[in-house]
Each structure stands twice: as C-alpha cells, then as structure tokens.
Amino acid sequence: MDNDFQSHTDQERTIRPQLSMANTHRPQPFHTPQQPMQQAAQQAAVKKCPYCGFDNEPEAMFCAQCGQPISKMTCPHCGAEIDPDADFCEVCHHYIRKDVCSYCGAHLSGNEMYCPECGSPKGGLVCPTCNTLNDFAFCKKCGTALTEEARQLVRELQKNPDYQELLEIVRDYSKLENALPYNSERDMMREQNGEKLRERVLMLLAKDEGVEAPVIRKVESKRMTKDQLEEQKAVKLSMLTAILDKLAVPPSPSPVQVRNYAMASKPVGVRLAWVCNYKHAMHSSPCGCAKPQMGGKWIVLGRNSSAEINDDK
C-alpha cells in the first residue's frame, strides 16, 4: 500500500468512520462535490492539448487554441467518461444535456417538464408504430417521425431531387435483393420448356378457331441466373453508395439538427448503418452516437452483417 492511499483512507476514517468502508466500494453519486477533479487540477499546473500541444489552464474543458475538448466529463446516469461536447452517453444510452432540447435543439433552463419550443416531454416520446421510448424526434428503432418538426423535415426532404433519386435506387435494389435467381441449369431449361409448351398450346387453339398465323406474345422471364443477378445488384449498390455519399451530413454546430436530418433522410427498404465522423463507428442510427455534430453518412449493410453495429437498438 503506498503512502498516498494510506493518508487518504486515514483521512476518511477520521471524518466518517462508519461510512469509509461503504464508500471505498461504491461509485460516487454524480451530485456529490467533485473532489477527484480538484485533485487532478492540483497535480497538473497546465493541461496539454492532445490535438495541438497547447498548454491550457488546468480547469479548461476545451483547448484555447484549437477548440478541441480536452477534459472528460462523467455521465450523470452511469458515471462513464465522456467528452464535454457530447450530448449522449454511448455506454448507458441516455441523453445527457439538460440545457438543450433533445428533440428540437431549443435552449432550456433545465427544469422544464416539456420543451417550451416544441412541446415534447423530457421523459421521452413513445413511438406510435413500435412502442419504443425515444429521447429524440425520430424513433431510433423504426424511424417514425415523432414530432411535428420531424414530420415537416421529412416532407421537405421528399421534395429534394437527390432524395427522390435515392428512393428510386433503393426500390430497385430491394427488388433485386428479393429476386430469386435460377438455382441451376435445370431450372432454366424447365422454364424455357414451359414457355415452349405454352406457345404450342396457344398455336393449336388458334388453329382450331381458324386463325392461320396467330400472334403469340412471348412471356419475358423475370428470373435470371445468379451471376446476372449479382451483377445487377452490384451496379445498383454502387449507385446507392454514390448517392448516400452525396447525401452525407456535414459537421454542424447542432447535434440535434444533424440527428434529425440524418434520420429524416434514411430510406426504408434497405439495411443501413450510420457511420459517424466522431469515431467512425457504425451505429444502427445517429441516435446511438455521442457526437453527431461531427457529421456522418448512411452506408448499406449486407444481409448478415448486423454484428458490425456497435450500439443497441
């Protein structure tokens, strides 16, 4: 046991002997005075910025030169370490800003039960489609717009030509995803023989009715070989990737705005993940990202890649 630890526990023992044992084994509740932070500040006279090397005041939360966050905060719900400019804890999945409405970004005093701007309750909104409780304006599970502002955003996006193009490609792509290719050469032969038989029957029927040169319309098969299908899918996929890149959300001062815009622009019918510019993590949506204000984009997920997503639903 080193001396520091010895004197620390001795001190506690003299102040609150009956609590010292319990205290050493229990995490500090978030609202107690921040003793550990004071100690840390005394140890380091200056705080070096890990991004640019600038020597900052010991209590600085952000670098005075480059503006990057240099102090960690603790999540008020679970105590996890988080950046001071994060508004969401990725460990316990709670929204953590009391002064900003999580639905519309309006400034709050912190004591409101409902946002004076958008009227949303602080306790969360239940999605009418899937019953999930949400802290944000869109359902993190099914994508339903939950506030009037969110519905308005969706209506605006639907007028955007890029977004319309995206929806069209998604429709084509999901059609191909669900298409059934020929399993074998025999499959293809069977379908061709079936078509020949149909033509012959129609021809005979027409002759019975006295038509000498009947016009028999060919039935175009919608099925294709596995290779043809994969090729078409690859073409659509690269178109889809290109348009999702084009619709990538740039960094913005407001995390709430980025979250809402990204959720509003998510098309239905294809499996997507949100890749953020913060940690380049793959989220199921920007609702699982601590810093959506850094921007990000949707990417297409393969059929069996759900394991790559690192947040909960």
- In sequence order, the 6+-apart residues with CB closer than 8 A to the CB of 170 are 240, 267, 268, 269, 270
Q: CA geometry: angle at 311 spanning 297 and 117, to 5°? A: 70
Q: Residue 230 Cβ, how far from Zn ion at the closest point, in Å?
A: 32
Pick one of 47, 49, 163, 293: the residue that binds Zn ion (CB under 5 A).
49
**Of 2-10, 70-78, 164-172, 263-271, which part binds Zn ion (CB under 5 A)?**
70-78
* Bridge partners for 134 per DSSP: 125
- In sequence order, the 6+-apart residues with CB closer than 8 A to the CB of 245 are 297
Closer residue to Zn ion (CB): 40 or 106: 106
Closer residue to Zn ion (CB): 92 or 197: 92
Binding footprint of Zn ion, residue count (CB under 5 A): 33
Q: Residue 244 Cβ, how far from Zn ion at the closest point, in Å?
A: 17
Q: Residue 232 Cβ, how far from Zn ion at the closest point, in Å?
A: 32
Reduced DSSP (H G I as helix, E B as strand, rest coil) percent helix, strand, coil of the chain, to 5: 40, 10, 50
Task: Decide: is 127 part of the binding site for Zn ion (CB under 5 A).
Answer: yes
Pick one of 40, 41, 60, 80: the residue that binds Zn ion (CB under 5 A).
80
Task: Decide: is 309 part of the binding site for Zn ion (CB under 5 A).
Answer: no
Pick one of 7, 23, 129, 160: the residue that binds Zn ion (CB under 5 A).
129
* Burial of 135 per CB tally in 10 Å (0-12, 13-18, 19+): buried
CA 286/CA 147 separation, integer angstroms: 17
Per-residue x/- track, 144-183, Zn ion (CB under 5 A): x---------------------------------------
Characterize the bridge pairing of strands 73-74 and 282-283: unpaired
Element (H, E) at 7: helix 3-15
**Of 3-11, 155-163, 196-204, 272-280, which part binds Zn ion (CB under 5 A)?**
272-280
Task: Decide: is 137 part of the binding site for Zn ion (CB under 5 A).
Answer: no
CA 245/CA 48 separation, integer angstroms: 36
Q: Which amino acid is at 18?
A: Q
* Bridge partners for 81 per DSSP: 74
Q: Residue 189 Cβ, how far from Zn ion at the closest point, in Å?
A: 47
Residues near Zn ion (CB under 5 A): 49, 51-52, 54, 63, 65-66, 75, 77-78, 80, 89, 91-92, 101, 103-104, 106, 115, 117-118, 127, 129-130, 132, 139, 141-142, 144, 276, 278, 281, 289
